[in-house]
């Protein structure tokens, strides 16, 4: 899935600026399983405009740069839906510096191992909290749930969000149950080898 397709998908929920699209990938609906940076979103929107898949209206703002509000054209909508039907989804990829580093736990001070695990747990705690539907209506927080015109959360989005939460909780549970064991094992390991 290239950024152009991701942008089309982001605009399926209604009009948005480039900046708002980035927020969907940073904090919002898609943030837990897709990434796109401004440096790729803006060129993608330009290209999509050239191809007639999106249009934009320039809103002048006092004392601020103009806002370009993008919207799908009917061809853009059709193209996106066709892509959904035709694309064979790429392999999932998970990238974690912390897990990579933990692989070398034997080679580093135990305090660092513990700090890394705690950091990992803290990040998942936060993420689980962000996905939580209880938090979804609070002002200021970006919604994790895509909603239709009536404001009802969409079943597909709820399923994906629930899955994300289940993964977070499993991670936290595993850490609660295995962190101490690992630290003890490492202490043993280091006692035996100088």
Residues engaged in binding a second copy (CB under 8 A): 1, 6, 9, 12, 29-30, 32-35, 81, 84-85, 87, 89-109, 112-113, 116, 119, 123, 146, 148, 154-157, 159-160, 162-164, 166-167, 169-171, 173-175, 178, 182, 185-186, 189
> Tokens at residue 188, please?
């043993």
Query: Is 86 among the residues that bind DNA (CB under 7 A)?
Result: no
* Residue 169 touches which member of DNA, a second copy, none, C-beta under 5-8 Å by kind: a second copy
Question: What residue 180 binds from DNA, a second copy, none (CB within 5 to 8 A, per partner kind)?
Answer: none
Cα–Cα distance, 99 to 120 (Å, whole number): 9
Residue written as token pair 């399983």:
33
Phi, psi of 21 (to 5 degrees): -65, -45
**Do the beta carbons of residue 125 and residue 117 sit within 8 Å?**
no
Taking the complex as a whole, how short is the minimal distance between the CB of residue 82 and DNA, in angstroms?
18
On the CB side of 26, how many CA atoms lie within 13 Å of its CA? Answer: 11
In angstroms, give the least distance from the CB of 194 to DNA: 34
Rounded distance, CA 108 to CA 39, Å?
37
Q: Which residues bind DNA (CB under 7 A)?
A: 2-4, 17-20, 23, 35-40, 42-46, 61, 63-69, 90
């Amino acid at each position: 899935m290239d950024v152009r397709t991701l942008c089309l998908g982001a605009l399926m929920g209604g009009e948005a600026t480039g900046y708002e699209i980035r927020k969907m990938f940073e904090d919002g609906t898609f943030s837990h399983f897709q990434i796109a940076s401004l440096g790729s979103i803006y060129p993608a929107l330009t290209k999509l405009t050239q191809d007639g898949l999106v249009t934009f209206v320039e809103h002048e703002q006092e004392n601020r740069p103009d806002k370009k509000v993008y919207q799908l054209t009917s061809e853009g909508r059709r193209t996106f839906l066709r892509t959904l039907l035709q694309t064979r989804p790429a392999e999932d990829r998970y990238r974690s510096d912390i897990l990579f580093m933990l692989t070398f736990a034997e080679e580093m001070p135990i305090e660092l191992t513990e700090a890394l695990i705690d950091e990992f747990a803290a990040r998942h705690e936060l993420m689980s909290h962000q996905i939580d539907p209880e938090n979804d209506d609070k002002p200021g927080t970006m919604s994790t749930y895509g909603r239709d015109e009536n404001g009802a959360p969409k079943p597909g989005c709820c399923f994906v969000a629930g899955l994300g939460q289940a993964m977070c909780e499993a991670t936290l549970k595993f850490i609660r149950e295995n962190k101490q064991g690992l630290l003890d094992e490492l202490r043993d390991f280091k006692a035996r080898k100088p």
